[in-house]
Structure 1
Amino acid sequence: MIHPALVRKQRMILSILFALIILTIFIGMGLGYSSLSYDRLIPTLLGQGTFKEEFVLFSIRLPRMVITLLAGMALALSGAILQGITRNDLADPGIVGINSGAGVAIAVFFLFFPIKAGSFVYLLPLVAFLGALLTAGLIYLFAYNRSSGLQPVKLVLTGVGFSMALSGIMIVLISSAEREKVDFIAKWLVGNIWGTDWPFIWAILPWLTILIPFTLYKANRLNLLSLSEPVAIGVGVSIEKERIILLLTAVSLAASAVSVTGGIAFIGLMAPHIAKALVGPRNQLFLPIAIFIGGWLLLLADTIGRNLVDPAGIPAGIVVALIGAPYFMYLLMRK
């Protein structure tokens, strides 16, 4: 049973994070290459703005912020699942190669399978999922030992190796591509938020609507998988079955996110750690907080990045990496 004081603390933290997200969205709506006056935001939201104000807000700012919020939530939850099933604090979909697998699949699809724009948006998450799934499967096979099971440290090292190899494949793919297509893939690689229209939201939203509640439902299984294998087996958990189901969930979440945001790492590493530091390691408590932290971190990174340099800004992936890389080194040295 979870102590009522911890539940109250969780609710308070969730309320604070929700307020931070709303505040960041409000500030972000007024900032940008075409700035909007803050005293005009409420009238514009209520449909009383000029054509320019409504176009900037509803066609440019809001869809981009919603996309970054949803993608950050997906990446944070994916990282939390990976850390739980591997019992490794350094696991993250960007670090262990899942994002790179999704990226190669998207690059191949984009370069060699021309398709109508309307279908392209909705097929991207599926293509990214297939690429990420193949990569995750190979990483799992290389890290698995028949006598000792899945080796967490070996999984991270294998994932890093796959990530570097897949980045090399990506460079080979774009070396002979057309200039316009190279520009798109280059932006994807650095984590530039490119899916900034409402159809991209409808493409990613069904994945999160299904997978977030499913993961929260599986929170107790994640608690047991975080323990040693003999203990988990002793309480009746089918370890390999649960790991595969949750790995598929983590891959799906990461793939749906990076299909519209590009190759963003470290969100899935930082958010679960911060959440655990706030309420402890129990998944029922920290998973909702990690989801909110991940969404807010990516939203904040994109808001800062797009306003630092006009007009293009700095990709959100670079801003996140500037924060996440030192944090990764800190964790590496601590462990």
Structure 2
Amino acid sequence: MEKPTHTSVSLGLLANVCSSIAIILINKWIYTQYGFPNVTLTCIHLFVTSLGLFACERADVFQSKHLPLKKMLPLALTFCGFVAFTNLSLETNTVGTYQIMKTMTTPCIIIIQERFYARSFSTQVKLTMIPIAIGVFLNSFYDVKFNLLGIIYASLGVFVTSLYQVWVGEKQHEFQVNSMQLLYYQAPLSSAMLFVVIPFVEPDVWSFHGALGEWPIHVIGMVLLSGVVAFMVNLSIFWVIGNTSAVTYNMVGHLKFCLTVVLGFLLFHDPISMLQLLGILLTLSGVILYTHIKLKEQKSMAVKLPMSTKE
């Protein structure tokens, strides 16, 4: 695969940040105003993503590539596990506890990649997680309550999410495919799996507001808009991980967390304290420090490569 330029990486990260924040705000409206079922909405997101990719493939935006179904099933399963355990974690934990546990995803990814994929991370990169973890803790300090079941669900969610994100990058390199080609297979598989479990986890979904046809038209419109934005989110996630790394994607996730808190304050008038502001600043400092270190390491590698070629 062709190596992306700094400009394309920046644009990819920007697209992911903008689309992710947009879908959070849209979904928050859907959930708070109408209590729309979570797993059903995720299934709709993946179905719309599948349709979007099919349309792109037909329009020759990309060429589909045959991938072995047996090797794609684990990726689809871990996505469903990530959705299930994330929802269970949110259901059994406070938002503060959920956010703190979520910060463990980055170190978990590093452990998996170092232990099983022979990847290495500098001490400087690992140290950037300290201000991020402290920042998230300060932001969530007044909403932290631990319980055994919640910790179990959150821990499983961290592990499955980490595994999923690692595999998104590894599968792209293993099969030598781009983000669209990989998502073209994964989205329909995950959508079908979630569709099968919906009757068990959300049995009242079809009686929501009486029947599917009786849902308010503006709610259906917002759900479809959410699906279109989800298509952009899913595509940008695969692109960012495939062209950078799962760790970089997680660092961008911390940035999105900070921006979401600020936008929640500006748009929904969610309360924000001085302690939360301090937490946001610490988290942002960790993300900026990580970016600085990674750029420095990339420049160092770029200098070493020509020298080794001459030798």
TM-score, scaled relative to structure 2:
0.35
Q: Which has the higher helix share?
A: 2
